[in-house]
Every structure is written in structure tokens, then in C-alpha cells.
Amino acid sequence: MNKADPKKFRVKSFGCQMNVYDGERMNEMLVDQGMTRADEGEDADLVVLNTCHIREKAAEKVYSDIGRLRKKDGSTPMIAVAGCVAQAEGKEISRRAPTVDIVVGPQAYHRLPELIARAKTGRKALDTDMPANSKFDVLPVRQKQARPNAFLTVQEGCDKFCTYCVVPYTRGAEISRPWADLIDEAKALVDGGAKEITLLGQNVNAWRGADQSGKDRGLDGLIRALDRISGLERIRYTTSHPNDMTQELIEAHGDVAKLMPYLHLPVQSGSNAILKAMNRSHTTESYLTILERVRHVRPDIAISGDFIVGFPGESDRDFEDTLEVVRQANYSQAYSFKYSPRAGTPAATMEDQIAPEIMNERLQRLQALLNEQQHAFNRQAVGRTTQALLERKGKLDGQLVGKTPWLQSVHIIAPDLAIGDMVDVDIESAGPNSLAGRLNERIAA
């Protein structure tokens, strides 16, 4: 069946912040092609599902979403599946979901216009090539930003091959984008209204490149260069791997004022035996030593992490070791997941897969401890005055929601303020997930 010439489109992104970034670049590219974004509730002629393959639940979600895609007149829009499910499942997607017109991997989405042209003629279009770096060379320059907090992918792919993880297969080998491209993109984001930039990468701190004088630099060098961009007020980076946490990067937390006091550093497990089976190549001791060193230069830093419970072979003792690491690390916030076997990864065929009820119980205990730590961290803010970058509207009339330097959400009622304002807030109360306060009139005046 021929699909009409799509005029209105919608890109729906799932999963990590790198997908959010890719989704924004797809949006900008499709607008550059003369198409218009469909408003909320409006029919789209083209729907791009920018998918996540990291856990089974995330990957399966795409199929239920495809089944629900209908226009108001009952017809099906042109459907493109992008992202990591597209990369991992390729042709299988069209077999399971025949209404899908386009399948495009995360390294090939700059070719969407050609794929759309093909789909318009009624042919299926599949592109899961991994042409190194080229998408960044052809994507249009960044447009005006809707939000004051922008994402900037600096590094993609992964060579670490943790035994549970699909990323090295879906995102390909580790690459660092060139220095000059990143400085230019950061400046374009700031010119477009961004006040905060989060540098993104599957292993963002593995970023390396030659600076303008040809000198080899790590992520700390890039951060120091961004620090000099006037108009940029905050810099963040995520996600880091413990093995790439250099002393230079740690020191940047001590002396780069725009680098926010927040570090997302996944440990995954507190048991060295499990870390070895995961091929993480760090130990709990080396992980805790990094936290000590970061806290030495920036005592107030908020530490975040990722955990997997129920990795094959995880004993009660191993899990207790994870709880112990959480107690020692003292997180401001963290993400925890049940292990999800992914086809093609070594862990999926390991013996001693853990029963779901044991995983559930362990996840609940871990999350209870993490929530307790998060709430305690938030409570420390009560009575203090904290800077917040206002990022979005809240649910209440005149309410705005911002982020503190420690990445806590903070709600204020301030009808005279706007998204993008940087304000001082007196924190009055703290919940497990967010803070509430009022504008500090003394400083604002």
C-alpha cells in the first residue's frame, strides 16, 4: 500500500538520554526537510518510535505501541522503528509487525529522508548500517532549544562488553566525536537558549580527542573548554564508567565552577565475584576509592548509580554485599533493575539464573534502602537557599519546576517567572523524590 506524502510527524523516544538526544536530532532533521511536528492529540502521518533494547520489557513495549498506532480515520500512519530495537531485531520487526514501513538503526537515522522516500512508494525500508561518525557530519545545525537544559552526545558505543549488556551490539564500537564539532554544537545550543548542557555517552568519561592545538585531551579538557563559553551556566555529564574515572576528571569537580556537583557512577553489584562474572573490570574497593577521591575535592557532591539484582549466580551473600556498598557509598539517588537476559549476551546462557520471586524480593529491599538515602539527602536541603534552573511548568497554577545543582527537582509557585530563569530558592520541604520552596526575594531583588 502506498503511504501518502507525510506532512506531519511525531518522534517518540524511549529509554536513555542518548535516545532523547537522537530523537531531538531526528525532529530537527524532519523539520529541515519541510515537515511539521504534530501537536499533542493531533494526527501524525509519520510516527517514529525511537526504541530501547536494554531490558526485555523495554524492547517488547515497541510491539504493543505499534499495534495502537491509528489515525482518527482508522488508517495507519507511516511507521518507522528507530533506535536499539531496530538495530538488534532488524527484519524481524517487519515480520512481527507488518504495518512497520521503516526500520533504522541508531547510527543510520540521518538517512531517514531517503528511507521515507522509499516507503512512500510502498516498499519496506531497512537500514541498520553502522557508518562510523557520519550521521553527525550531515545532520542539520542545532535549532532554537525548547528547554534550557540541552543534551549533547559526545561519545557513542561501547567496547567494554559487560556480559549482560546489549549496548556494544546495538550501538557499536566506542567512538568520540571531534573536539571542534562539540565546541561548535555547544555554542549553537547556547545561542539557541540552552543554559545547561549535559554531555552524553554510554561511557562518557571514555571520551578522548585532540583539542584545537592538536593536544590529546580527556573529558576533563572538554569540560574546561566548555566552561569558557559565555552564557553557558551549568555542565553535567553522564554515564560514567568507574574504569575511565581519571584523576584529571575528578579534579575538574574541585575547580570547574560550572561543573555541577553530581556524579552518576554505576557499580552494578557490591560483590566482587559478581562484578567479575559481569566483566566489569572494577572492584567494589576501587569503586569506593573513586567516591572517596571525588568527595575529597567536592565534599557536597551528589552520587548516583545503577544496580542490577539477580545476575546469574548471585547468592544471598552477594546481594548483602550490594546492600553494604550502598550503605558505604551513600547515594543521593540511584537506578536499580532486575537482571533481564538479553539474547546474544554471554550472561543469557549462564547457569544459575535467579528465580523471579527472589529478584523481586531483592529489588524491593535494595530500593527501600536507596529511597531512604534519597529522602535523607533531600531533607538536608531544607532550610537552605539553593540555585535552581527552571525547566518546566508544574501541575499547579503558576507552578514551575527546576533543578538544583545536585539534580533534585524543586517546585515553586512563581507566576512571574519563566522557564529558563535561574533563581535562588529557599527550600521549605523535602519529599522522597523532590523539594518544594519559595523564591528568595532578597536575592532576587
Applying CB under 6 A, the residues found at the interface with ligand SAM are: 16, 54-55, 164-165, 167, 202-203, 239, 241, 266, 268, 306, 308, 337, 339-340, 342
Residue with smaller CB distance to ligand SAM, 287 or 377? 287
d(CA 196, CA 198): 7
- Smallest gap from Cβ 264 to ligand SAM, in A, equals 8
Residue with smaller CB distance to ligand SF4, 85 or 158? 158
Per DSSP, the residues of 217-262 read: EEHHHHHHHHTTSTT--EEEEE---GGG--HHHHHHHHH-TTB-SE
Residue with smaller CB distance to ligand SF4, 54 or 436? 54
167 in contact with ligand SF4 (CB under 6 A): yes
- Smallest gap from Cβ 353 to ligand SAM, in A, equals 12
Could you tell which of ligand SF4, ligand SAM, none binds residue 54, using a CB distance below 5 to 8 A set by kind?
Answer: ligand SAM
Residue with smaller CB distance to ligand SAM, 54 or 194? 54
- Smallest gap from Cβ 131 to ligand SAM, in A, equals 22
Do 111 and 127 touch, CB atoms closer than 8 A?
yes
Angle value at C-alpha 334, between 282 and 227, nearest 5 degrees: 80
Could you tell which of ligand SAM, ligand SF4, none binds residue 118, using a CB distance below 5 to 8 A set by kind?
Answer: none
Burial class (CB in 10 A: 0-12, 13-18, 19+), 78: buried
Convert residues 229-248 into a mask of x (bound to ligand SF4 by CB under 6 A) and - (unbound): ------------x-------
- Smallest gap from Cβ 205 to ligand SF4, in A, equals 11
- Smallest gap from Cβ 165 to ligand SF4, in A, equals 3
d(CA 263, CA 239): 9
- Smallest gap from Cβ 255 to ligand SF4, in A, equals 28
Q: Taking the CB of residue 248, how many other CB atoms lie within 10 A of it?
A: 14
Amino acid at the residue 95: R
- Smallest gap from Cβ 275 to ligand SAM, in A, equals 11
Closest CA to 313 of 342, 283, 284, 341: 341
Amino acid at the residue 197: I
Applying CB under 6 A, which of residues 103, 162, 303, 363 lies at the interface with ligand SF4? 162
CB contact burial 344-379 (16+ within 10 A = b; e otherwise): ebebbeeeebbeeeebeebbeebbebbeebbeebbe
Length, in residues, of the chain:
445
Residue with smaller CB distance to ligand SAM, 163 or 440? 163
Q: Which residue has the cell 551490539?
A: 169
Convert residues 122-151 into a mask of x (bound to ligand SF4 by CB under 6 A) and - (unbound): ------------------------------
Binding site for ligand SF4 (CB under 6 A): 158, 160-162, 165, 167-168, 202-203, 241
